[in-house]
Chains A and B, each alone.
Chain A
Amino acid sequence: MFNFDKFFKELKDGVKDMAKREAKDFVKEATADSKEFLDTVKDDLKTWSEQLARGELTKDEFEFLLGGKKDLAKMEALKQAGLAAVRVDRVRTALLDLVIAAATKSV
């Protein structure tokens, strides 16, 4: 006999754990990526400012490189949005696995 209450409890607990784990991992990874990106931008801006001061870069070239960093920030944001979507798909797949596992335990 299939036990509905047991099935729903197994499922609810599993979904809660999975959501917590996925959200925590995503925030951790996104924060690390953002920090790395900002560190790189900071280092490059320092280098380019010094090169501009020494005359190794023209003002036009310096501005082009700065614009490149702005475009790169958009690329990073798109990557993060894409990674969030990948995670949504992983959760969806895991949810289906969870249903099967909970149903098996409830029979």
Chain B
Amino acid sequence: MHNDSPRVTFGVTCWWAPPLKTGGGRKNTTILLASLLLLVGCAAITGYDPTSYKTATDLKAEALVLIEKATDPPGPHKGAIDGLRVKLRQAWEYEKGKGSRNRFTSEQWRLMIDPQGNLLGGFLAKWESSGSGFGDAFLQGVSKNVGDAFDRIIELESHKVKD
């Protein structure tokens, strides 16, 4: 591959860095420095965002508390269910707004809130459509899955590069 060939890495269009050769003198140095300058502006993923981290940890706590209450029918908790849905949607929109370099995190949120899925969005939809409460065994299982799913979002965010 040559030095002017575009290359897609993790959804970001970057420019190929040519292989290094020794003994090429000034020409090689120029190519190397030009390649490095191009690399500087070519991050593969967004950096750590404290707002994203806090949103994920706050919503995890809020979601798990609401799941515990799902031994009741959904009616008395309609306000809490709708409120949580809005916050989840806001979180997803915030992550989507960061663009393609944040696609791993935004896709995680999409899975989390999908009403057709089997995580938090799917659970809230199931609770409302059932019109009744659930048993402890089921709620413990849901709580485990949803908690673990939030942990995947939180772990990825916490490993992103901090400025």
The finding on whether chains A and B are genuine partners in a shared complex, rather than unrelated, reads yes
Closest to B102 in A: A82
Interchain CA distance A97-B108 in the complex, whole Å? 33
Contacting residues, chain A, for B148 (C-beta < 8 A): 40, 72, 75
Residues on B close to A: CB < 8 A?
A: 9-10, 20-26, 28-29, 32, 36, 39-40, 42-45, 104-105, 107-108, 111-112, 114, 117-119, 122-123, 126, 134-138, 141-142, 144-146, 148-149, 152-153, 155-156, 159-161
- Per-residue CB contact flags for chain A residues 64-107 toward chain B (1 = under 8 Å, else 0) read 11111111101110110111111011101101100100000000
Contacting residues, chain A, for B146 (C-beta < 8 A): 68
Given A9-B22, A40-B148, A44-B141, 4 additional A-B pairs, CB 8 A = A64-B122, A65-B145, A71-B118, A83-B156
Given contacts A57-B135, A71-B111, A96-B39, contact A65 B149 (CB under 8 A): no
Which residues between 32 and 88 of chain A lie within 8 Å of chain B, taking CB atoms?
Answer: 40, 44, 47-48, 51, 56-58, 61, 64-72, 74-76, 78-79, 81-86, 88
Contacting residues, chain A, for B28 (C-beta < 8 A): 4, 8
Category for how many chain A residues contact B = 35 or more
A17 within 8 A of B: no
Closest to A65 in B: B141
Interchain CA distance A90-B45 in the complex, whole Å? 11
CB of A13 to closest CB in B, whole Å: 11
Q: Is the Cβ of A85 less than 8 Å from the Cβ of B138?
A: no
CB of A51 to closest CB in B, whole Å: 5
CB of B136 to closest CB in A, whole Å: 8
Q: Is the Cβ of A75 less than 8 Å from the Cβ of B153?
A: yes
A18 within 8 A of B: no
Interchain CA distance A104-B23 in the complex, whole Å? 18
Interchain CA distance A61-B138 in the complex, whole Å? 6
CB of B5 to closest CB in A, whole Å: 18
Q: Is the Cβ of A56 less than 8 Å from the Cβ of B135?
A: yes
